[in-house]
């Protein structure tokens, strides 16, 4: 039972019962130095000891000081001890005041309670943190016994994440990982120690430090590290055949905690990380907290991550709408596991079915809609034109019309760079879908907007999983053209910026995300091959297959002649689009 005091904490209670009288007597010794006044107030001290033995253990019990594992004591426990001791001292002072009022004691010494508070704080805290010290000594002894077979770990990053990693490694000697040093580029941290582990240099010293400290593994503990830093560490470690792992990037850690269990192998998304932009995002929370939010395409890569990030803002309800039952089921399980108290409604529906959409909106009354459902594969849509048109255009129009009829407050459509000067069916249909949303926003003065960005790493059907499968099979890795370039962004980062942009929309606007520099697909393939421990050209062959119908060598994020304006977020731009095409007049003939 929660209220029981276990055997170990009974010993702590006994220790308190011994230390309480010592603290009271020590108070009088410090105050009167065993002089005449000391013996004059001796009866008062006896009553004070009796009152303290009653009041203090009761207060400590109610503050939970006998229900904690003090071997893991931290600053939080120190704060708790301070509050408990302060409360107990106030209670003791009131008890002695009562005795004085009842003429049981003939004096009331205010200053002794201040000294008693200080001595009690030292005694109570010292007793409990001694247990932590003993536990650490035992851990160090265990670590010393296993050090012969343990791996020597170098931690890159001496910030909060690095300190947390080292602390967990020290607490878990069974992992057989001993932190032997930190690297950090902050000059003020050099030659300092964290949890007894020295900071031995900067990242430029990595090559030398790996040899000097005989490092067996490298851990990159900088969630905000840009890709160039991760690449530098990975390249040097790989040349020396030293394993390396990393913490997830800052966007993957949104709403989560740093821990050793989250360490993973470095992947391609880490090499393409960008320096995250620090910005207050209360506006996103205000737009989602307490709202009924609907996400179309919720089983897809973008839709699933949208649901995950929306959930952390505490919506009133979340509707996950998608056409594929298996993907919706998997996404639902993942979301319920991470957010068990969230009300989630899985809806299997086709956005081309207008009546079904009306029923869904009538039932759940969504206030905010994120539209990600679309056919996205360029080559497939070239030979399935009718599917592309009905799903991407008619489906979007159905959704927009339904949202307007049911009073949706905000609608955000996710679009693609292939909608700019489209040369393929998929891009053309997405461009028309953009125009549907923008026209509705302008016509009704509602915040219906479009967010446009390039390729996302790791989405279904993207080049990364295709290349990985080809590498696992032993090659070859197929690339259409050596100069093919694309914009890339990780899914968590893209979705984070989508939510930021969605909160800025006033009506009929296109937002474009800063995708950074375009990446050569050839460079991407070579990085993936090297991350697999192989060498391109030697272990895995790269074959060029030729540009496919509907493909461009490079993509754009806006048309020539369009002007973009900055927003409150440095990675989000607003397009100044003066085009007022009456797109709805052309959709019906297209559908026919």
Q: What is the CATH topology of the domain spanning 282-455+488-515+555-591? A: Rossmann fold (3.40.50)
Segment holding 174, helix H or strand E: none
3-class SS at 52? helix
Tokens standing for residue 231: 């690449």
In this prediction, residue 186 carries a pLDDT of 86
454: CB partners within 8 A, 6+ apart: 416, 417, 486, 487, 488, 489, 515, 555, 557
In this prediction, residue 281 carries a pLDDT of 64
Residue ranges covered by each domain of the chain: 7-143, 150-271, 282-455+488-515+555-591
Largest CA distance in the chain: 109
**How far apart are the C-alpha atoms of 47 and 57, rounded to whole Å?**
16
C-beta separation of 139 from 170 below 8 A:
yes
Nearest to 482 by CA among 421, 423, 554, 530: 554
Q: In CATH terms, are 150-271 and 282-455+488-515+555-591 the same topology?
A: yes
**pLDDT in single tens digits along all 592 residues of the chain:** 444 545 457 788 888 888 888 888 888 777 766 555 556 667 777 888 888 899 888 998 888 888 776 666 667 788 888 998 899 889 888 888 888 888 887 777 777 888 888 888 888 888 888 877 776 666 655 555 555 567 898 998 888 888 888 888 887 777 788 888 999 888 888 888 888 888 888 888 999 999 999 999 998 888 777 778 888 888 888 888 888 888 775 555 444 455 555 676 676 666 666 655 555 566 677 778 889 999 999 998 889 999 998 998 889 999 999 998 999 999 999 999 989 999 999 999 999 999 999 999 999 999 999 999 998 888 888 889 899 999 999 999 999 999 999 999 999 999 887 888 888 898 889 999 988 998 888 888 888 988 887 777 766 667 777 888 888 888 788 888 888 888 777 788 788 878 888 778 777 788 887 777 778 888 888 888 877 777 888 888 888 888 777 677 776 666 655 667 777 777 788 876 545 555 665 666 665 5
**How far apart are the C-alpha atoms of 130 and 343, rounded to whole Å?**
46
What is the 3-state secondary structure of 60-72? Answer: HHHCCCCCCCHHH
**How far apart are the C-alpha atoms of 388 and 429, rounded to whole Å?**
7
DSSP output for 261-322: GG-EE--HHHHT--PPPP---HHHHHHHTT-EEEEETTTSHHHHHHHHHHHTT--SEEEEEE
In this prediction, residue 125 carries a pLDDT of 82
Regarding the domain with residue range 150-271, which homologous superfamily does it belong to in the CATH classification?
Answer: NAD(P)-binding Rossmann-like Domain (3.40.50.720)
**How far apart are the C-alpha atoms of 129 and 70, rounded to whole Å?**
7
In this prediction, residue 260 carries a pLDDT of 56
Tokens standing for residue 569: 């977020």
Active site residue 430: no
C-beta separation of 449 from 508 below 8 A:
yes
In this prediction, residue 130 carries a pLDDT of 81
C-beta separation of 273 from 225 below 8 A:
yes
For the CA atoms of 120, 125, 128, 129, the dihedral, rounded to the nearest 10 degrees, stands at -150
CA angle 252, 418, 429 (to 5 degrees): 115
Exposed, middle or buried: residue 561 (CB in 10 Å: 0-12, 13-18, 19+)?
Answer: exposed
Please list the residues that pair with 513 across neighbouring strands.
572
CA angle 229, 230, 232 (to 5 degrees): 65
3-class SS at 193? strand
83 prior amide bond cis, ω within 30: no
**How far apart are the C-alpha atoms of 220 and 208, rounded to whole Å?**
17
In this prediction, residue 139 carries a pLDDT of 60
Which one from 56, 291, 376, 418 is the annotated catalytic residue? 418
Tokens standing for residue 286: 């205000």
Exposed, middle or buried: residue 325 (CB in 10 Å: 0-12, 13-18, 19+)?
Answer: exposed
In this prediction, residue 411 carries a pLDDT of 93
In this prediction, residue 7 carries a pLDDT of 45
Segment holding 8, helix H or strand E: helix 7-32
Q: At what angle do helices 325-338 and 301-311 cross, to 10 degrees?
A: 30
């Amino acid at each position: 039972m929660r209220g029981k005091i276990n055997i170990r904490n009974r010993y702590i209670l006994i220790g308190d019962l011994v230390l309480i009288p010592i603290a009271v007597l020590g108070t009088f010794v410090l105050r009167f130095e065993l002089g005449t006044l000391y013996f004059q107030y001796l009866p008062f001290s006896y009553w004070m000891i009796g009152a303290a033995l009653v009041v203090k253990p009761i207060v400590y019990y109610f503050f939970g000081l006998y229900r904690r594992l003090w071997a893991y004591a931290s600053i939080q426990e120190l704060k708790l001890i301070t509050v408990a001791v302060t409360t107990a001292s106030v209670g003791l002072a009131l008890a002695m005041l009562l005795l004085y009022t009842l003429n049981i004691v003939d004096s009331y010494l205010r200053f002794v309670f201040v000294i008693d508070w200080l001595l009690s704080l030292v005694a109570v805290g010292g007793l409990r943190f001694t247990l932590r010290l003993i536990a650490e000594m035992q851990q160090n002894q265990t670590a010393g016994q296993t050090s012969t077979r343990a791996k020597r770990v170098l931690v890159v990053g001496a910030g909060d994440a690095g300190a947390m990693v080292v602390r967990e490694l020290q607490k878990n000697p069974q992992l057989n990982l001993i932190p032997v040093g930190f690297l950090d580029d902050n000059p003020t941290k050099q030659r300092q120690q964290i949890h007894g582990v020295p900071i031995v240099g900067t990242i430029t010293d990595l090559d030398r430090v790996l040899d000097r400290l005989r490092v067996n593994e490298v851990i990159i503990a900088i969630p905000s590290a840009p890709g160039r830093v991760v690449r530098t560490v990975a390249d040097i470690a790989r040349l020396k055949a030293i394993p390396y792992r990393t913490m997830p990037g800052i966007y993957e850690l949104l709403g989560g905690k740093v821990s050793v269990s989250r360490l993973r192998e470095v992947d391609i998304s880490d090499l393409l990380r960008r320096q995250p932009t620090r910005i207050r995002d209360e506006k996103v929370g205000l737009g989602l907290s307490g709202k009924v939010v609907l996400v179309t395409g919720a089983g897809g890569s973008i839709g699933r991550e949208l649901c995950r990030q929306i959930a952390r803002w505490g919506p009133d309800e979340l509707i996950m709408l998608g056409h594929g039952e298996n993907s919706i089921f998997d996404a639902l399980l993942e979301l319920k596991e991470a957010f068990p108290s969230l009300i989630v409604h899985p809806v299997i529906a086709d956005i081309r079915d207008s009546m079904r959409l009306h029923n869904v909106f009538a039932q759940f009354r969504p206030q905010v809609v994120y539209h990600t459902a679309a056919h996205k594969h360029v080559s497939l849509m070239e030979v399935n034109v009718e599917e592309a048109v009905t799903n991407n255009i008619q489906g979007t129009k159905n959704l927009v019309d339904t949202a307007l009829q049911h009073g949706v407050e905000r609608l955000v459509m996710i679009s693609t760079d292939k909608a700019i000067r489209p040369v393929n069916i998929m891009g053309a249909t997405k461009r028309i879908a953009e125009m549907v949303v923008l026209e509705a926003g302008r016509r009704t003065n509602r915040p219906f907007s479009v967010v446009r960005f390039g390729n996302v790493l790791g989405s279904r059907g993207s080049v990364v999983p295709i290349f990985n499968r080809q590498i696992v099979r032993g090659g070859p890795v197929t690339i259409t053209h050596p100069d093919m370039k694309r914009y890339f962004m990780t899914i968590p980062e893209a979705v984070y910026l989508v939510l930021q942009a969605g909160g800025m929309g006033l009506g009929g606007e296109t937002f474009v995300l800063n995708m950074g520099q375009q990446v050569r697909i050839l460079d991407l393939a070579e990085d993936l091959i090297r991350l697999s421990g192989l060498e391109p050209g030697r272990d895995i062959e790269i074959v060029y297959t030729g540009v496919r119908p509907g493909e461009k060598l490079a993509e754009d994020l806006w048309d020539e002649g369009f002007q973009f304006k900055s927003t409150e977020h440095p990675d989000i731009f607003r397009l100044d689009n003066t085009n007022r095409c009456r797109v709805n007049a052309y959709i019906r003939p297209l559908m026919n």
